Structure formats: C-alpha cells, structure tokens
Amino acid sequence: MVLSFFIQGIQSEIENSPDLTSLFHSIPPNLDCSSLCYIGLRDLDPPERHLLDSLQIKYFTMGDVDKLGISETTSRALDILKPSANKPLHVSFDADSLDPCYAPSTGTPVPGGLTLDEALTLAKTVSATNAIRCIDFVEVNPKIGEAKDVIKTVDNSIKILLSLLGVTK
C-alpha cells in the first residue's frame, strides 16, 4: 500500500527513531487521519502497525477481508469514511494488493492478496457512492515478468479502473 511504500522510503529514519510518530510531529497535518482507511493490508511489520495504530488510521488486513468478506469490509470502510459530495474520495489502488496470480507484473507481489472478484466488488461498491474525485492506480510494472504476465496485470488493472469509474459490463 501507499503507506507501506512511504514507510520503506524512510526506513533508515525509522530504525534510528524509538518513537515513529516523532517523525511526523514537526510536519503540520494536511489530512486528518480519520479520513484514511486501508483495505487488504498484509505483510505489516511491527513499525508499520505501530505507526498506523498511533496515528489512529483505520485499516483492514487480508485476514479481515477473509473473515468478513469483501462486501462487509468495504461497507465498514465506507461507514468510517462517510463519503459524500462534500467529502469526496481519493482512491489509491495498488496492483500489488491483488494476489500475484492476478497481477504478477508488480514490484512487491505477496501471495494471499485480493482476488480479482474481490477487487471488482470493492471498486463497484466504492464507485456507487458517486464520491470518487481522484484515482491513483499504482504498482503496475510492465518491465517485470514475461509478456503474458504484463498482459494479465494490465488487463486486470483496466477492469478494476473501469469498475471504479462506474463502467460495468
């Protein structure tokens, strides 16, 4: 996820800081952490989990998705975020949140991610709020894998993007 990437980028600072949140105290907040919610996290290490918890950022791991189902998980996330015309959504979708069998051409493939059906259900549900104003779709890397891997990753990414945009077949 985006936060994981950000944390990896400051890994040396984290390793030298006993209090992870102290890294952020000198930066004036531009976004209320209650406006963030992550779905499908896996491979969280203790510093990442501590940072999420200390900043009170809501998140659902793949374990939560497996236990609750993607529809319930998405519903709970939307209940937390309460999107509306006055509170639009910025969706950042990482291709590596998908199981590598659906998106093999990504830099950080980790087994046990979202299925394509789960991602499409999530996208369709979020799109139905009519609150999406911005979409980032990241972690697609066509330089990784064979041609069939790239085609599969790009095709599945397009399906998810179209679903986020409200295009259904």
- The predicted-structure confidence for 9-50, as pLDDT tens digits, reads as follows 444 444 555 555 566 566 666 678 888 999 999 988 898 999
Domain limits for position 132: 2-164
Average pLDDT over residues 101-114: 94
Q: Is residue 13 part of a domain?
A: yes
Return the structure tokens found at 82.
């309460």
Q: Is residue 36 part of a domain?
A: yes
What is the pLDDT at residue 1? Answer: 36
Q: Is residue 169 part of a domain?
A: no
Q: Is residue 9 part of a domain?
A: yes
| pLDDT tens string 126-158 | 999 999 999 999 999 999 999 999 999 999 999
Percentage of the chain exceeding pLDDT 90: 68
Query: CA-CA distances (angstroms) from residue 149 to 99, 105, 132, 141?
Result: 13, 6, 29, 10
CATH, residue 56: 3.40.800.10
How many independent structural domains does the chain possess?
1
What is the pLDDT at residue 4? Answer: 35
Q: Is residue 67 part of a domain?
A: yes
C-alpha 129/C-alpha 36 separation (Å) is: 16
